[in-house]
Structure 1
């Protein structure tokens, strides 16, 4: 598979306003990695026949990216233009995703449809990126997921299995999917903790055979704790002997908005006070889609911990089911 970032980095000034390199690995399509010779900004261009219908995308923007169509004498061009150079790494992942999805297409129309699907998925991801770091809510969400990943690695679950199950960056309803087993992670530092459920899909078992929920109760400390940065370092260190897995892990962090330039925002230290493990079954108090009136969605709610004591399980039940 072509590495789009390496192509951009290898491009040299030619005297042209736009430096273009055709992506030869998808020979049935006219796709190009391009660089603006003046600004150094990356572009991706897909050229299609004039009879292919490109939806109205002129001046279509999301954070750091502009997308537009352009008509030449002989073709139509779909242009995806990076307008914020701080986002080069995540932009490269975005375009890489498009390339991987269109490689097996058989027509320009199919390739365009798949490209637009990727664009709309990634718009949601770009819109969550904060240039002053992730919000505290998102930090805690990622912190909980990394604690779980670290725990599974230490319990000798294969790292490729762990990383491929980590669906949080893909905006799945469940944070982890191990085949037909889902795991949802919660973390709170509240002095009056509860289970905060953000939508009706999180505890829905319709698409899984088993669903577990883990709640990490943490408190802020000044020393002898862990931070978001330290967990990233710990996991990276455990993956350092396998560069492919380390690259995959770093890409997932980017998808969640964890940027190296924002590391100074992620040094708050915590320690774990308590961990609760739950088995989610039909009797667990929850709101699911099938219970909601038509037209109501994205339902958030809180569950008192005292109401779910009977659903607690031992941690080995989860790890054993994942092996």
Structure 2
């Protein structure tokens, strides 16, 4: 039986490769993947296509890597290129992984889709992502943040909304806007009426800003009904597609949460329930700062019943608008 995936034997795939040459990755590969030399002798990988995709997919931006679509003899090509020659070994590993994913495609369109998806996964991993996937509670938290992010896009616009989503970048608050900050917490509707506070800074005052707490009931079940985490991510992503720089900021924030599109999240469904808003002010139930010397890494729970006197009167978005207008 012919080994369709037998690679050509080259210690370096780009060794002695001229700029007008293309060296096939697999002798009898299903699809047209080639090693190529780009401008300035840049090592590259090409998937030859019959034509450009009708809708050009969003391409990840990777440090020291070039990802693009280019004209090619007889059509066009999806191309990866390495800007930093000292990273050639890891680049070869990336390329072979992308080719392996693409070779599983039934046709060239499927091969391109798989190659792009694998490239996006490398983007996620190289930005510090993880392979293990998000825990159930981490998924619940992300679903809640995405729900509020969609509200901000609808009311304040995509650019303001994505700039406000600061939690993934390590901020103590999930959302920061001019004049206001919002911490989003999720809970199971049937759970005990408490929310978990994971650091001493989460409910700390921010000078010059009002601090709000949104608590969302988010139910989950291994059922065919409802929406998976991938569904929640997909519907949110559509809100940022019209602006390239905003979409890049969205992807950067999303992948910083630990989300990986190749992890299996399809079995669990997430159902959004009622939300309640509170203003964290004055004697709101929280651990006061500064902490005593020697105390750090504080985690605690807050009773929702104790939060009732601080329930926000009026609409949270209107309160946020006032903060923006008063600046």
TM-score with structure 1 length normalisation?
A: 0.62
Unaligned runs of 5+ residues in structure 1 are 11-18, 22-31, 43-84, 95-125
Aligned residue number for residue 322 of structure 1: 320
Q: Is the 8 A contact 2:153 2:160 kept in 1?
A: no
Distance 1:134 1:37, change over 3 A: same
Structure 1 residue 37: deviation in Å?
4.3
Q: Is the 8 A contact 1:220 1:269 kept in 2?
A: yes
Q: Is the 8 A contact 1:194 1:302 kept in 2?
A: yes
Aligned residue number for residue 204 of structure 1: 204
SS in 1 for 2:213: strand
Task: Give the Cα separation in 2 of the matches to 1:268 and 1:216.
Answer: 18
Aligned residue number for residue 119 of structure 1: none
Aligned residue number for residue 134 of structure 1: 134
Q: Within 5 A, what are the aligned runs for 1:60-99?
A: 88-90=122-124, 94=127
Aligned residue number for residue 296 of structure 1: 295
Aligned residue number for residue 231 of structure 1: 232
Task: Give the Cα separation in 2 of the matches to 1:177 and 1:216.
Answer: 18
Aligned residue number for residue 7 of structure 1: 65
Is 1:287 aligned to residue 287 of structure 2?
A: yes
Q: Within 5 A, what are the aligned runs for 1:144-163?
A: 144-154=144-154, 156-163=155-162
Q: Is the 8 A contact 2:121 2:261 kept in 1?
A: no
Aligned residues: 223
Task: Give the Cα separation in 1 of the matches to 2:251 and 2:225.
Answer: 25
Q: Is the 8 A contact 1:218 1:270 kept in 2?
A: yes
Q: Within 5 A, what are the aligned runs for 1:218-297?
A: 218-221=218-221, 222=223, 224-262=225-263, 264-265=264-265, 267-290=267-290, 292-297=291-296
Structure 1 residue 266: deviation in Å?
5.1
Task: Give the Cα separation in 1 of the matches to 2:306 and 2:90.
Answer: 62
Distance 1:176 1:151, change over 3 A: same
Aligned residue number for residue 88 of structure 2: 36
Structure 1 residue 191: deviation in Å?
2.1
Deviations 1:129-159 (A, max 9, x none): 44231122221221111010112223x2111
| Larger Rg computed on CA atoms | 2
Structure 1 residue 302: deviation in Å?
0.7
SS in 2 for 1:265: coil
Q: Is the 8 A contact 2:140 2:270 kept in 1?
A: no
TM-score with structure 2 length normalisation?
A: 0.61
SS in 2 for 1:219: strand
Q: Is the 8 A contact 2:140 2:218 kept in 1?
A: no
Deviations 1:45-88 (A, max 9, x none): xxxxxxxxxxxxxxxxxxxxxxxxxxxxxxxxxxxxxxxx9963
Aligned residue number for residue 193 of structure 2: 193
Structure 1 residue 186: deviation in Å?
0.3
Distance 1:233 1:188, change over 3 A: same
Superposition RMSD on alpha carbons, in Å?
2.7
Q: Is the 8 A contact 2:194 2:302 kept in 1?
A: yes
Q: Is the 8 A contact 2:193 2:305 kept in 1?
A: no
Task: Give the Cα separation in 2 of the matches to 1:20 and 1:146.
Answer: 34
Structure 1 residue 178: deviation in Å?
0.1
Unaligned runs of 5+ residues in structure 2 are 1-60, 69-80, 95-118, 322-327
SS in 2 for 1:203: coil
